[in-house]
Chain A
Amino acid sequence: MSSDELIWRIAGGSGDGIDSTSQNFAKALMRSGLDVFTHRHYPSRIRGGHTYVEIRAADREVQSRGDGYNFLLSLGDSFARNPQEEAYYGNEEIKPLSENLDDLREGGIIVYDEGLISEEDVEAIDLEARAEENDWHVFPMDLRGLAREHGREVMRNTAGVGVTAALLDMDLEHIEDLMSDAMGGDVLEANLEILHEAYETTREEYEFEHDLRAPEGSHETEQALLSGSNAIAYGAIDAGCRFIAGYPMTPWTDVFTILAQNFPDMGGVSEQVEDEIAAAALALGASHAGAKAMSGSSGGGFALMSEPLGLAEMTETPLVLVESMRAGPSTGMPTKPEQGDLEFVLYTSQGDSSRVVFAPSSIEEAYEQTRLAFEIAWDYQLPAIVIYDQKLSGENKNVDVEFFDREPKPDLGSTLTEDELAEAAHDASGKFKRFNYEDAENNVAPRSLPGQKGGRYLATGNEHSPVGHISEDPDNRVAQMTRRIEKLDSIREELNEEHESNQTYFGDDDAEYGIITWGSSHGAVHEAVERLNESGHSVKGMSVSDMMPFPETEVTEFLESVDEAMVVEMNATAQFRGLIQKELGRFGEKMTSLLKYNGNPFEPAEVVEGYEVNLADDDREPTAQVRIEPAAGD
């Protein structure tokens, strides 16, 4: 017997090994033939505090964390044993159990570590009564004791996985393989012993009355489990990026770390520098000198990058920046996702901007659009920004390995060789007309690199003449400004003609109701649209990735084809809806917003509920922590 889907939540304190354990378990599920999707919830502290990872696994594509979950492995927060009685964080070993119960589905399973979580504490939260009410199946196990007996206390994760496997009737083979890959010697021995004993003990001690079993599935091709951060880093590698400069900031740090660890073996250069102004300025300097370079940050750090960003636009220096959004303003909620930096990224830095902004909505798109960002940036000599969020950054999903099997593309776009420079236009002093607006094709002025013969010019952040000298001549200003801004039209044209659309469509083509979203909210919305259609509604969805230049035609066609639309995004001020209205100059009366900004990403059910409430057209408020912002004029 197998179930439709498993959503396994492992909870404990930060530092309890939740991350690595879940990573391995997710891989084991993937290797058993299932599609997996992970969701990570953690506080902004190093040790202790409530943290969990959810793994959703099913024998079909999974694109979101799903609604709630059905298996809780609660380890007990080993860092909650604070010696100070009155300490802020208190003595709350039980938190990984008590904090998670609200989202556990009816009929779900609870395994908790009675070695760490005391009987009195469990009584205090009325677990028994709640379990009865919700038909939960509770399995207290002394995971800590078991781990101690055969190895060390930290191995209680392994015991928990053993119990999980037993309760779900899973084969231990994949878990054992992964353990052997990750460790060796006595540590491996001890872990294997703990795994087996936990497995056997559970099977001997309990009769399983619950229905939940691990789903069964198979993959036709080899799968890889990776995060959005991996995908962005790998997209950069395959685009030929070999220079990265950064300053650590959650969640951007993941991309930075992955590249910093891989670059030495790839002949690349990575620099951790004094601040984000320096980071982006370094990427700019490296790009100016001829390397494919990138930098990035999260909201607060990206704020510092607005200077180098504008300088890149004015000097037409190619550059890729990534911005991993977390809840703001200011330091906001460092470890929680939000889609609140869209307007900031589109408009930060002074003057009229000529930049490209992509907002990938999945792991695959994160890879594709990072590659595309490099291609566009180097072809058109401007900065390209990849905006994503803490959710996409940290979630893991299985992707077909073959998806990544393609050629690297390290070429420097419209950068001239010395032979080409010899043919190019120069002024009377022999200076290369780098910013030549007269022969610009697609508004691009190809560049030279310092050290090349015949390429001397001045790159300046001031408005400048064709050879780069400061100029306030009105005719020159208009010619240069127009060319820089009109690059966006050329790029839009190229994106329309030569690339597959970055926008994703789903649902019923003929539907009269549309849901439109962007970035990482795509998964939950996509699933919600499928669910709505299954239950007899007629809805279609669109997920937009091109933020600048904006895909005017595609969004217009979508909005024209529906009577009403709901815009779903994770922020409080409906920034994406604002962008649509600004770019298209209409549809204000057609679009209602469904907003969420409590620090957790959308679950599909919330989108479904938002749709239903909106359609009911009454004063009903949705029950979840989401907000409806009516259409303009409503």
Chain B
Amino acid sequence: MSAFNAIGEEREIDRDEFTPSVEPQPTWCPGCGDFGVLKSLKQALPEVGKTPEEVLTVTGIGCSGKLNSYLDTYGFHTIHGRSLPVARAAKLANTDLEVIAAGGDGDGYGIGGNHFIHTARENHDMTYIVFNNEIFGLTKGQTSPTSPKGHKSKTQPSGSAKTPIRPLSQSLTAGASYIARTAAVNPNQAKEIIAEAIEHDGFAHVDFLTQCPTWNKDARQYVPYIDVQESDDYDFDVTDRREAAEMMYETEDVLNEGTVLTGRYYVDEDRPSYQEEKSAVGELPDQPLAERYFDEDAEWERSYDLLDRHT
């Protein structure tokens, strides 16, 4: 019998199960796009058949970091920028867990940028949602890595001299096997994309546009948007790396000029996840490591048996 009975449990799951029945109430501002991420997760998880107890949500710091306070799953609210290394190790230690990491654009593309590159490179089997509102919210409105060039804030009063980061292109270059962008103002698409990302075997990166009504009133990122899969103007093959790269590049150029494209940009179902690769070279046990600690029949090797080489 498994020590983790919540994992793989098959039953009808109500989305209300994901809402904590007592405090805390979200501290997000009225009109905040973060509500959209929370809502789409609550809808997507029951749809893909996940119970609250088999899901581990790992978050960073900032408004986005509070996601798992308002979502009733197992949660690890870590520190700024460090959600990914914590999340991917949890998955390696118990490959049966459904691991979802989330953080903001400062958290994920700034301070956690290095982890982002390497987690995508290794193609860890997990979902990564970046709340992208082009601003630091909880620290009160400073320029973030996705803020447009020329963006004025208290820390860049003359306007930012920096070109914003290109999260989709960077993700593709690094090696993510599922890359999409969605927006809080497009809840139906958001739910679908999050569900797909969760079901994808590999690193699924979702750049989730979330409006910040308090600190980023001028940003036009969220209206109007065009769904690239629905529009006849954008015909490209999401499984073709080169075409996807071109589409991303175009999108990222115009993102701050009023046209916002959302949808799936790259989907590679063939690339094995890191867990599969590691297993293939014999570096990941078949039985989830965490299970073994509860397995009474498990044999534990001893260092005593290694001493031959020292005598």
B280 within 8 A of A: no
A456: chain B residues at CB < 8 Å are 52-53, 72-74
Contact flag A266-B89 (CB < 8 Å), given A429-B21, A451-B96, A459-B75: no
8 A Cβ contacts from A214-230 to B: 222-226, 230
Please name all residues of chain B whose beta carbon is closer than 8 Å to the beta carbon of A264 when the two chains form the complex: 282-283
**Interface assignment of A564: CB less than 8 Å from any CB of chain B:** no
* A-B interface contact total, Cβ < 8 Å: 227
B53/A453 in contact, CB under 8 A: yes
Residues B93 and A243 in contact, CB atoms below 8 Å apart? yes
Q: Which residues of A contact B192 (CB under 8 A)?
A: none
CB distance from B162 to the nearest CB of A (A): 23
Expressed in whole angstroms, the minimum distance between the Cβ of A471 and any Cβ of chain B is 9
Q: Among the listed A278, A281, A408, A461, which residue makes an inter-chain contact with B77, where contact means beta carbons less than 8 Å apart?
A: A461
| Interface residues in B262-311 (C-beta closer than 8 Å to A) | 278, 282-285, 287, 289-290, 292-294, 298, 300-304, 306-307, 310-311
Q: Are B86 and A288 in contact (CB under 8 A)?
A: yes
In the complex formed, the residue of A with least CB distance to B92 is: A269
Verify B290–A461 contact, CB threshold 8 A.
no
B4 is an interface residue with CB less than 8 A from chain A: yes
Q: Which residues of B contact A27 (CB under 8 A)?
A: 311
**B contacts with A, residue count (CB < 8 A):** 65
Do A450 and B94 touch across chains, with their CB atoms under 8 A apart?
A: yes
The proximity string for B residues 43-59 relative to A, scoring 1 for CB distances below 8 Å and 0 otherwise, is: 00000000011101010
Interface size class of A (residues with CB under 8 A): 35 or more
Among the 9-residue stretches A151-159, A234-242, A336-344, A510-518, the one with 4 or more Cβ atoms under 8 Å from chain B is A234-242
- B206 at the A/B interface (Cβ < 8 Å)? no
For A226, list chain B residues within 8 Å (CB). Answer: 310
CB distance from A271 to the nearest CB of B (A): 7
Fill in one digit per residue for B20-48: 1 if any A CB lies within 8 Å of its CB, else 0: 11111000000000000000000000000
Contact B303 A404 (CB under 8 A): yes
Are B97 and A289 neighbours in the complex by a CB distance under 8 Å? yes
> Is there an interface contact between B115 and A427, defined as CB atoms closer than 8 Å?
no
Instruction: For the complex, give the distance between the alpha carbons of A290 and B270 in Å.
Output: 30
Q: Name the segment of A106-114, A411-419, A545-553 touching the other chain.
A: A411-419
Contact B115 A278 (CB under 8 A): yes
Contact A307 B303 (CB under 8 A): no
B3 and A418: CB pair below 8 A? yes
Task: Please state if A281 and B302 are interface contacts (CB–CB under 8 Å).
Answer: no
In the complex, the answer to whether B4 meets A266 with C-beta atoms within 8 Å is no
Check: B225 CB closer than 8 A to any chain A CB.
Answer: no
CA distance A614 to B86 in the complex (A): 52
- Among A196-204, A462-470, A622-630, the one that faces the other chain is A462-470
Q: Would B77 and A460 count as touching, CB distance under 8 A?
A: yes
Is A455's CB within 8 Å of the partner chain B?
Answer: yes
**Bound-complex Cα distance A469 to B70 (A):** 9
A57 within 8 A of partner (CB): no
- Residue of A222, A233, A268, A273 touching B85 (CB-CB under 8 A): A273
Q: Which residues of B contact A311 (CB under 8 A)?
A: 78-79, 82
CA–CA, A242 to B303, complex, Å? 13
For the complex formed, measure the closest distance between the CB of A153 and the CB atoms of chain B, giving whole angstroms.
28
Indicate if B90 sits at the interface (CB-CB under 8 A). yes
CB <8 Å contact, B118 and A278: yes
B142 at the interface (CB under 8 A from A): no
Closest residue on chain B to residue A274 by CB atoms:
B118
Asked, given contacts A284-B86, A307-B82, A404-B303, whether A452 binds B93 with beta carbons under 8 Å apart, the answer is no
In the complex, what residues of B have CB within 8 A of residue A410's CB?
293, 298, 300
- Bound-state CA distance A406–B87 (Å) is 34
A430 lies within 8 A of chain B by Cβ: yes
Proximity string of chain B (227-262) to chain A, C-beta cutoff 8 Å, 1 when within and 0 when not = 000000000000000000000000000000000000
Cβ of A265 and Cβ of B4 under 8 Å apart? Answer: no
**Chain B nearest CB: distance from A223 CB in Å?**
7
A286 touches B307 (CB 8 A): no
**Distance (Å) between the CB of A320 and the closest chain B CB?**
14
Would you call B307 and A224 a contact (CB within 8 A)? Answer: yes
Q: Across the interface, do B311 and A269 meet the contact criterion of CB distance under 8 Å?
A: no
| Interchain CB contact under 8 A, B79 and A452 | no
Q: Is the interface of A mostly helix, strand, loop or mixed?
A: mixed
Question: In angstroms, how far is the closest chain B Cβ from the Cβ of A232?
Answer: 11
User: Which residues in chain A, 426-462, are within 8 Å of chain B measured between CB atoms?
Assistant: 427-431, 449-462
Task: Point out the residue from A242, A274, A285, A401 that lies within 8 Å of B89, measured CB to CB.
Answer: A285
Q: A240-B300, A410-B293, A451-B53 are in contact. Are A470 and B79 (CB under 8 A)?
A: no
The residues of A that contact B24 with a CB separation of less than 8 Å are: 469-470
Cα(A240)–Cα(B295), bound, Å:
13
A245 within 8 A of B: yes
Q: Are B292 and A267 in contact (CB under 8 A)?
A: yes
B69 touching A449, Cβ below 8 Å: no
User: In the complex where A265-B301, A269-B283, A404-B307 touch, is A470 in contact with B93 (Cβ < 8 A)?
Assistant: no
**B205 surroundings in chain A (CB, below 8 A):** none
The interface centre, meaning the residue of A222, A288, A430 with most chain B CB atoms within 10 A of its CB, is A288
Bound Cα distance A284, B79 (Å):
12
- The reply to whether B90 and A401 contact each other, CB–CB distance below 8 Å, is no
Q: A266-B301, A267-B287 are in contact. Are A401 and B307 (CB under 8 A)?
A: yes
Report the separation of the CA atoms of residues A271 and B118 in the bound assembly, to the nearest whole angstrom.
12
Q: Which residue of A lies closest to B5 (CB)?
A: A453
B275 to chain A, nearest CB (A): 10
Q: Are B92 and A427 in contact (CB under 8 A)?
A: no
Among B20, B74, B78, which residue has its beta carbon within 8 angstroms of that of A281? B78
**Are A281 and B292 also in contact (CB < 8 A) when A224-B307, A450-B97, A453-B6 are?**
no
Query: Do residues B4 and A451 form an inter-chain contact, with CB atoms below 8 A?
Result: yes
Is the pair A450, B56 in contact by a Cβ cutoff of 8 Å?
Answer: yes
B181 within 8 A of A: no
- Residues B310 and A267 in contact, CB atoms below 8 Å apart: no
A282 within 8 A of partner (CB): yes
B133 contacts chain A at the CB level, 8 A cutoff: no
Cβ of A324 to closest chain B Cβ, rounded Å: 19
> Distance in Å from the Cβ of A606 to the closest Cβ of chain B?
31
Contacts of A427 on B, CB cut-off 8 Å?
22
* B66 surroundings in chain A (CB, below 8 A): 470
A262 contacts the other chain (CB 8 A): yes
A458, B69: Cβ atoms under 8 Å?
A: yes
Once the chains bind, are B307 and A243 in contact (CB under 8 Å)? no
B215: CB under 8 A from chain A? Answer: no
**In the bound complex, do residue B292 and residue A222 qualify as a contact, i.e. CB atoms below 8 Å apart?**
no
Whole-angstrom distance between the alpha carbons of A429 and B69 in the complex?
A: 13
- Given contacts A243-B93, A286-B90, whether A449 and B118 have CB atoms under 8 Å apart is no
Complex CA distance for A427 and B86, rounded to whole angstroms: 26
Query: In the complex, which residue of chain B has the Cβ closest to the Cβ of A267?
Result: B285
Contact with A along B122-154 (1 / 0, CB 8 A): 000000000000000000000000000000000
Please name the residue on chain A nearest to B70 by beta carbon: A469
Chain B residues, Cβ within 8 Å of A609: none
Task: Assess the B82–A238 pair: CB atoms within 8 A.
Answer: no
Across the interface, do B306 and A288 meet the contact criterion of CB distance under 8 Å? Answer: no
B165 beta carbon closer than 8 Å to chain A: no
Contact A291 B97 (CB under 8 A): no
| Pairs across A and B, CB under 8 Å, 16 listed | A238-B303, A277-B85, A278-B82, A285-B86, A285-B89, A285-B90, A286-B92, A289-B90, A289-B94, A290-B289, A291-B289, A292-B293, A404-B307, A408-B302, A428-B21, A470-B69
Which 5 residue pairs are nearest across A and B when measured between Cβ atoms? A290-B290, A285-B89, A234-B303, A451-B4, A285-B86
Starting from the known contacts A225-B310, A278-B85, 19 additional A-B residue pairs (CB-CB under 8 Å) come to A223-B311, A225-B311, A230-B310, A237-B302, A243-B289, A265-B301, A289-B97, A307-B79, A307-B82, A404-B304, A429-B20, A451-B54, A451-B97, A453-B6, A456-B52, A458-B77, A468-B75, A469-B24, A470-B69
Interfacial residues, chain A to chain B (CB-CB below 8 A):
27, 222-226, 230, 233-235, 237-238, 240, 242-243, 245, 262-271, 273-275, 277-279, 281-293, 307-308, 310-311, 315, 401, 404-408, 410-412, 417-418, 427-431, 449-462, 468-470
